Amino acid sequence: MLNTMGIKKMIMNQQNTVRKIRFELKILTLLFLSFLSNFVANAQREIININRNWEFIYGYEVKKDAGQLINLPHTWNNKDALGGNIDYYRGLGIYEKKVMVEDAWKHKRVFIRFLAANEVATVFVNGRCVGEHRGGYTAFAFEITDFLVFGQENLITVKVSNALHLDIIPLVGDFNFYGGIYRDVNLIVTEVDCISLLDHGSEGVYLHQEKVTPQEASVRAVVKLMGNNATEVIIKVKDNTGKDILIESNVVGYEDVSEKEITIPFSISNPYLWQGVEKPQLYKVHVQLMNGSKVLDEVVQPLGLRYFSVDPENGLFLNGKHVQVRGVCRHQDRPELGNALYPVHHEEDISIMRKMGANALRMSHYPHDPYVYDLADKAGLIVWSEIPFVGPGGYRDKGFVDTEKFKQNCRQQLVEMIRQNMNHPSVFFWGLFNELKESGDNPVTFIRELDSLAHAEDPSRLTTCASNQDGSINNNTDLAAWNKYPGWYGGNVSAIADWADRQHIEMPNTPIGISEYGAGAGIYHQNEELKKTDPGSYWHPENWQTHFHEEYWIAINERPFLWGTFIWNLFDFGAAHRTEDQIDGINDKGIVTFDRKVKKDAFYFYQANWNKTDPMVYIAERRNSYKTKANQIIKVYSNQKKVMLWVNGQKYFSSNTDDYSRFYFSVVLKMGENEIIAKSMNGLQDKIKINLRN
């Protein structure tokens, strides 16, 4: 006879066997369904880009046949705003397009999705109003199924206004508010049962990283659904070779509601981690909505597993490894195009960032194109994404109105930004405001509300701000950062070090950073002497910008408690009210020109200091090609250990570089043209010509 302990042991063994069999059957079932799904006719979503052949007409135009044929992306301010016209057109623009609606779509759902339109967009189908979106920098979608006539062309009309609205952010800003449908528009056709496209413009899939360690990553997937006939949601996680490493599922309930939310937790053992620019390894998560063995809908999202923290003394740690956050700010515009950019433009910008050695991007002062987030994921950039809650900076007016309609729009845009970008591993920080003031309507209480909302939406990330004020406005986010310009807007360049030390003492328990620092420079503005200029003047000599950045970076690099610093700006950008550089309407604080064709000297200073992988040699002050003094100091930037210089064939040896990748040569020029050649020990060289004249 078996004793009691023996019976219990036998029962436990049987239970474990049953659990094991059930688990194996579940895996086999999921694998079998996955196998079948490759052979069963799928009815997945169809995405149809409708960027081409729209008719555009200004809202004030009443004449028939007055429209012009355009393609999206489009803005109507690519000429007037970029021509320095401070009174550029801020009003109504009307877009119309006829779209063939297939008869086969009759028993499906049809959505229209805009990646952005600035700033109020009201959508009509066949003359009937579908809906309105208020906010110019996030995506939005409407279901238009019930507005369509199937089997024939349907008229889509979009009325877009970039006029000032006192209940929509931003109210003010030192940048252009380009009007138009300036990002892609797609029709999306799905089965009646689908993954929702109507949750704040998102993809309807949220991957919450609950806990990540080198040993295991726990993720909670939340999927929003529409319809009543789906039976199951399957999640497949694929590695960077495309191999399935995990399959999980959950049954869809049969309650009679048109919108459902399904949660599927999963974990990955010994995951590869997303380690920033060092190794930005990504998984792909395929979310499939099933009816039996039939795939009804599928959404693919990135998954980059990582954990991070920010310390008040030592800054940011990514996966336990310290990372000095070397960031840049970027606006989303270009000459002749305004903000109506194409993928190639975003690709070029990210490439320039990486060439320079930047490892972080502040998307100022609004969410950028979704493609930029994708590129940042793949490049390993650390992203600060912010809502356009923007104050006046050094200008008049205010960025906050204490009305419920205004505050509701702020909440809406914050939720949209977070839900649309939650799955991007590159996003570390949610920015809540830029350069607000406490005078008049005080935004402090509302900023605290936004901070709570951001954490409720996404507990895994930190909040931050970009302030230019003292006071309680700086104490309402996880991290604090300031826009600092001593040495440009008043004061001396050296004041940045004193400010940082004092701020660190005053806020010892809060990580502090610099959200903006920079100085203007025109590439045709050259001084032989180093002399501080008036920022309000037309004359912005390049050598002062270079000096400014050299001194700032030295101060920053010596202060590890600065959690992150961001150059203002990587590129010159449009600001219609500005009167500086060669043409009006440009803010020239970029270290690369507006057209991306010329990298200013400061760019190469950072490249020499930040990018130690790609060898480079660069002779500074090359555009100051006419000199009046024979005795000159030639400065060379290089990430190499030794550099030699030849002047008219005469060789000058340098000592080793200083601590900031600068080489200095004392030379004597001859009258007329002089050839200057800098070479590193591995054969890299740069060449310029300098003319000495009386």
Q: How many domains does the chain have?
A: 4
- 288 and 248 in a single domain? The answer is yes
Q: What's the confidence (pLDDT) of residue 256? A: 62
Of 283, 299, 322, which residue sits at a domain end?
322
- 191 and 68 in a single domain? The answer is yes
- 125 and 215 in a single domain? The answer is no
- 228 and 294 in a single domain? The answer is yes
Is residue 576 situated within a structural domain?
Answer: no
- 50 and 190 in a single domain? The answer is yes
Asked if the model's pLDDT at residue 498 lies above 70, the reply is: yes
Of 172, 195, 218, which residue sits at a domain end?
195
Q: What's the confidence (pLDDT) of residue 395? A: 82
CA distance 165 to 140: 19
DSSP string, 643-683: EEEEETTEEEE--S--TTSEEEEEEEPPSEEEEEEEEETTS
CATH of the domain at 646: 2.60.40.10
For residue 586 the two structure tokens come to 């440009």
Percentage of residues in the chain having pLDDT higher than 70: 93
Is residue 340 situated within a structural domain?
Answer: no
**Residue in this structure with the two tokens 């950073």, named with its chain if needed:** 513
CA distance 39 to 234: 17
For residues 498, 500, 501 and 505, what is the CA-based torsion angle, rounded to 10 degrees?
Answer: 130
Domain boundaries, position 665: 626-692
Tens of pLDDT, residues 281-334: 999 999 999 999 999 999 999 999 999 999 999 999 999 999 999 999 999 999
Asked if the model's pLDDT at residue 210 lies above 80, the reply is: yes
CA 513 to chain centre: 18
Is residue 251 situated within a structural domain?
Answer: yes
CA distance 421 to 427: 8
Percentage of residues in the chain having pLDDT higher than 90: 87
Query: Which residues lie across from 429 on neighbouring strands?
Result: 384, 462
For residue 615 the two structure tokens come to 């060898």
Is residue 455 situated within a structural domain?
Answer: no
- 70 and 175 in a single domain? The answer is yes
- 9 and 59 in a single domain? The answer is no
Q: Phi and psi of 393, rounded to 5°? A: 60, -125
- 27 and 89 in a single domain? The answer is no
Tens of pLDDT, residues 344-379: 999 999 999 999 999 999 999 999 999 999 999 999
- 236 and 139 in a single domain? The answer is no
188 SS3 class = strand
The answer to whether the beta carbons of residues 181 and 72 sit under 8 Å apart is yes
Q: Phi and psi of 455, rounded to 5°? A: -70, -35
Tens of pLDDT, residues 214-266: 999 999 999 999 999 899 999 999 999 999 999 999 999 766 666 799 999 99
CA distance 294 to 452: 41
- Catalytic site residue from 191, 298, 435, 621: 435
Of 165, 195, 225, which residue sits at a domain end?
195
- 227 and 265 in a single domain? The answer is yes
- 184 and 297 in a single domain? The answer is no
435 has catalytic annotation: yes
Is residue 616 situated within a structural domain?
Answer: no
Asked if the model's pLDDT at residue 23 lies above 60, the reply is: no
Is residue 258 situated within a structural domain?
Answer: yes
**H or E stretch including 217?**
strand 216-226
Task: For residue 191, give every residue at least 6 positions away whose Cβ sits within 8 Å of its Cβ, in sequence order, or none.
Answer: 43, 45, 108, 109, 227, 296, 297
Is residue 307 situated within a structural domain?
Answer: yes
Counting Cα atoms < 13 Å in the Cβ hemisphere of 605 gives: 25
- 121 and 161 in a single domain? The answer is yes
Asked if the model's pLDDT at residue 3 lies above 90, the reply is: no
Is residue 175 situated within a structural domain?
Answer: yes
Asked if the model's pLDDT at residue 142 lies above 60, the reply is: yes
In our burial notation (b when 16+ CB lie closer than 10 A, e otherwise), range 269-294 reads eebbbbbbbeebbbbebbbbbbbeeb
For residues 606, 612, 615 and 617, what is the CA-based torsion angle, rounded to 10 degrees?
Answer: 30
